[in-house]
Structure 1
């Protein structure tokens, strides 16, 4: 891939800049395959395309992309530097000329303070709130005034609205961009990612000056010997996998019913804004039940959900083998993305700790699960919900690395049941609460402990003062029966 790019561009900085631009173009081109865009026009002809590498038509906007590899003079793109390259003028022309247009600036060097102004505007509900709470330094105040009066010549309300909804900046160094492109290509296209990227590059070179839509892109990739991963994924397969997980969890519930957990609605809300959510807790804390509860709410809301229970895996060596282990015709992320298309999808990974260093699992299985998570990150409409024992996460740097990329996960710790929940479950199971002391009730606030005791008939209740005594007593009873 890189060799072919060297031949297409000149030497030195222009060669590197050209490679960077091509990588970003192909990265966005994959949005067509995912269903996140309707068409892309590379190097738009005439004066309309001046200053932009391409534009992308999405369901609700036309998105203009301007790519500058780096600003070697200062290492960042200040407003004067952007102005000298006519970036701000080009943005103004698109934003003022068409209310559906948005503009994206991409570089290996940060656009500062433009990027910070965009972030702050997105977090503010009004211009007044933005000015009062986010223009916290003279640098930002001066930058906003310069944008409003000097560069864009609009009202403060318009400048804020443009920054909030219609201007975005992306900062990716060349190495990270190449890695993300490879991950995206590998997640959605069959074969070696290098070959898939080479096919995309040939299509880019042959698709200038006119719109390219998804059907044509898929057809031309197929003509080049590159096919979609997960193209044959079945919605029934995906949904059946999640339903099997939920049924399995049902069989391990306390008194065969879900106990209300405060974490569930918070996790559901977090998945609306976070690409990854991590659920932690001790052994027997009910993490799987929480995940099943979240999955049920998401399915009822219309989201596509695929659940991978890592404890069911044995010696799979790739994401494709993980998919087959759950009856899928494609790797999990590709199967879920193919079914979800342009809707939200959530990939649920239960019991990540099962592939930790303290578990008796082959290292190849860890790599396979890692591949599943990396591939999921390539799809912008997929979020990942992962559960892991706290003690394993604290002691295993490999597991921490998995949940830290591409972004640190929002984390929820599943705590103990309330005393009322524990005693209520005991009453439901027919037990006399007067036979339980405070120490025993404290032990039974762990859902796993409560579950096994509620299986024991009240007439055969045994004494216990520790968790191990509870487990031993339960096993003795189970053997007798």
Structure 2
């Protein structure tokens, strides 16, 4: 594996060591029969090693020269010339380059995609015709240039791999974590030394394995079919399924096609490794995923499942996540081991709980990334991730994850069909016609239907506009029902203690020990009624939106000041969801206080920008009225960074209409200080409203003509 020289040589040698180790793993897995480093004579011309694999003999060259940048055809020419003999002998050549060779990669890929030379020449672009000629100039036979037919076949056998150093290192670490118990870095160093001592010699997998097992602390990871590991993994599935299914609606679930469709995605032979089941809050993502999980385990797939809403700041690596799941190691390592290349499934639910948008425990996403990196080398292990669409779209890490169209596919869920809702309600004895269209629309979200199903028959005859209204009725009824069973129940004390702890610790669960001061019977009755959910030694509410609701209601009823709460709390990302819930609760219960609160928060330089963004998002959801605009108007024309975002509300039709009173638009458009800032928002509305958007008279109509012309020009 070469002697080290200067710093660049050392980096290059290290890169070569990692790639060689990755290919040796093929030997250790039985996918190759032998490797020979630096074969003497013509057999070693232009290559680092030769690998006898199941799909043929590979001659491989590895280069890490960051200063070169991507390799041009000219730069790669010497390598292509040096490997001519291997290509003539019918062997395959792999060039592994840390900076890539895009032109050569594309040409060789197109060559393999064609069945004939004529087809290949018809596939390449006009710019690639001279590139093909340039590649041919590197190959000759007895001093004579090869013809185009031979050159095309040579090109078919050239494979170009572009793997940056850190990506390669992570691949090797993942591979050796699956093969051995021990430090992968130590194993690779030992492997490098062993190979250096056996240059020019043919080595087999059994020889290399025998040597590595002499390294202190290294032992084989023999997991295939291991009953202890299978039992531990099955335990994670049982706990996951039990928790999801005990939240099943009292009068059943509406039939949905998503289960069969998701199942088909996962079992498809040519399907991606990862499927992201997504949708808005409360769409029943966990229920759909659970049905698929149960179906696959019944078919014999090894599986594991975890909810990320139970993670905390200590969960940073794949192994940490395994510990959280009561497993002895990373779920990726264990699943890949027991499956032994057969299909397996890992479910990671509540991924939004560790997103930067939702703001719960975003640092714990590193553990998920670690798991996914480990599974790059185990494509037989399918991964089913569950997250909210809004988090995917607003968290760069999740957006990057779904952008990998080769490895990942998105699977969006939709709300229930209104006729399905009506059928479920009718079957439960509730008259859907008595609820009204607003309530029926609300109940198209499975979580809302589930909460509604837990209400008394009289409560189910009432109409509801929001989830907060449903939760308020649910809370009142559930509390009364439990207090009839347990007269001295301290509902406020128990729920308040949990809310305070979860808020302070910025988690969605709390230690059971936190409730030691309350009667155990009281805790159990809250569990039996589905208000609290226990997970080992942790406990929380049945849904995070219910925690948000209770926290917001307690916060507001106690007369707490949200501005001071946020300003003095550090304003970490966990506060985003709480801010959103408090504001939504205020908007539904005390509009005047809501407006005053919003105006103060937006106008404060003590509130961080990411919380200002949450406030703007909340405002954008409402059907605004003039008092709502008046509350934020002073901020809109101020000089603070958030002013432009507040003015951006005017581009929404409902906010445009809210502000369209008392000649406002005329004043804004007629005043130099505000005209330039107001015009883009007017233009945005005009794109969606061909008719005049202001009802204020002839002055604005003149502006409408200008806006209409500008909108047409912009389109």
Q: 1:79–1:143: 8 Å Cα contact kept in structure 2?
A: no
Is the contact between residue 353 and residue 362 of structure 2 (CA under 8 Å) also seen in structure 1? no
The Cα offsets for residues 421-446 of structure 1, whole Å up to 9 and x where unpaired, read as 33343344443332333222221221
Q: 1:60 to 1:280 in 2, by over 3 A?
A: same
Q: CA 1:288–1:389 in structure 2 vs 1: closer, same or farther (change >3 Å)?
A: same
Please tell me whether the aligned partners of residues 70 and 101 of structure 2 are also in contact (alpha carbons under 8 angstroms).
no
Matched, 1:241 2:236: yes
Shift of 1:334: 0.9
User: What is the match of residue 128 of structure 2?
Assistant: 140
CA distance in 2, matches of 1:168, 1:338: 29
Q: CA deviation at 1:21?
A: 1.9
Alpha-carbon distance in 1 for matches of 2:301, 2:329: 19
Deviation, structure 1 residue 29? 2.4
1:338 CA drift (Å): 0.8
Structure 1 residue matching 2:319: 3-state secondary structure: helix
Aligned to 1:468: 468
C-alpha distance in 1 between matches for 2:418 and 2:331: 39
The answer to whether the Cα contact below 8 Å between 1:346 and 1:384 also exists between their aligned partners in 2 is yes
Q: Which has the larger radius of gyration?
A: 2
Map Cα deviations across residues 345-398 of structure 1 (whole Å, 9 max, x no partner).
4432111222345555595x4544443333334545444332222333445456
Among residues 169, 172, 188, which one is paired with 2:163 in the alignment? Answer: 172
- Do the aligned partners of 1:43 and 1:54 also contact (CA within 8 Å) in 2? yes
What residue number does 1:78 align with? 73
Tell me which residue corresponds to 1:103: 93
The TM-score with structure 1 as length reference comes to 0.78
Q: For the structure 1 residues 418 and 92, does the alpha-carbon distance in structure 2 shift closer, same or farther, using more than 3 Å as the test?
A: farther
In 1, the alpha carbon distance for the partners of 2:112 and 2:454 equals 52
Alpha-carbon contact 2:276-2:387 (below 8 Å) kept: yes
Aligned to 1:421: 420
CA contact (8 A) 1:196 1:226 kept: no
Change over 3 Å in CA distance of 1:128–1:229 after alignment to 2: same
- C-alpha distance 458-340 of structure 1, shift in aligned 2 (>3 A): same
Greater shift, 460-469 or 396-405, is seen at 396-405
1:223 alignment partner, SS class: coil
Moved more, 396-405 or 468-477: 396-405
Matched, 1:410 2:409: yes
- Counterpart contact for 1:183–1:378, Cα < 8 Å: yes
1:355 is aligned to 2:351? no
**Residue pair 1:34, 1:338 contacting (<8 A) in 2 also:** no
Between the aligned partners of 1:247 and 1:160, the Cα distance in structure 2 is 57
CA positional deviation for 1:18 = 3.1
Which residue of 2 is the match for residue 260 of structure 1?
257
Per mean C-alpha deviation after superposition, the further-off stretch among 110-119 and 233-242 is: 233-242
Measured in 2, the distance between the counterparts of 1:185 and 1:162 equals: 32
- Equivalences for 1:40-439 in 2 at 5 Å? 40-44=35-39, 47-70=42-65, 75-78=70-73, 81-82=76-77, 85-87=80-82, 89-94=84-89, 96=90, 102-120=92-110, 132=122, 134-135=123-124, 137-144=125-132, 151=139, 159=152, 163=156, 167-182=158-173, 184-185=175-176, 189-227=180-218, 231-232=222-223, 234-254=229-249, 255=252, 259-261=256-258, 264=262, 267-268=265-266, 272-296=270-294, 298-299=296-297, 304-314=302-312, 315-316=314-315, 318-356=317-355, 358=358, 361=361, 363=363, 365-379=364-378, 381-397=380-396, 409-439=408-438
Q: Deviations over 1:92-140 (max 9, x none)?
A: 224x3xxxx54321112323422113444667799887655x42x2222
CA deviations over 1:275-315 (Å, ceiling 9, x no partner): 44333322112222333344456556765433222234455
| In 1, Cα distance between equivalents of 2:291 and 2:147 | 49
User: How much does 1:469 deviate?
Assistant: 1.7
Q: Aligned partners of 2:7 and 2:187: how far apart in 1?
A: 26
Q: Using the TM superposition, give the Cα deviation of residue 468 of structure 1 relative to its aligned residue in structure 2, in angstroms.
A: 1.9
Question: Secondary structure in 1 aligned to 2:327?
Answer: coil
Name the residue aligned to 2:477. Answer: 477
Aligned CA distance change for structure 1 residues 360 and 126 (closer, same or farther; 3 Å): same
Residue 78 of structure 1 and its aligned partner are, at CA, apart by 0.8
Find the aligned partners of 2:475 and 2:150 in 1 and give their Cα distance. 69
Aligned CA distance change for structure 1 residues 369 and 14 (closer, same or farther; 3 Å): closer
Question: Structure 1 residues 84, 326: CA separation in 2 closer, same or farther (over 3 Å shift)?
Answer: closer
Question: Contact between 2:94 and 2:161, CA under 8 Å: does it hold in 1?
Answer: yes
Unaligned 5+ segments in structure 2 are 141-145, 482-715
CA distance in structure 1 between the partners assigned to 2:248 and 2:288 by the alignment = 11
CA RMSD of aligned residues (A): 4.2
| C-alpha deviation, 1:343, in angstroms | 3.3
Q: Which runs of 5+ in 1 are unaligned?
A: none
Given that 1:249 and 1:288 are in contact with CA atoms closer than 8 Å, whether structure 2 keeps it comes out as yes
Say which SS state the counterpart of residue 168 (structure 2) adopts. Answer: helix
In the TM superposition, residue 170 of structure 1 has moved relative to its aligned partner by 0.6
Deviation at 1:183, TM superposition (A): 5.3
Shift of 1:182: 4.6
The 1-side partners of 2:297 and 2:148 are apart by: 44
Q: Distance in 1 between matches of 2:451 and 2:111?
A: 52
Inter-partner Cα distance in structure 2 for 1:478 and 1:440:
21
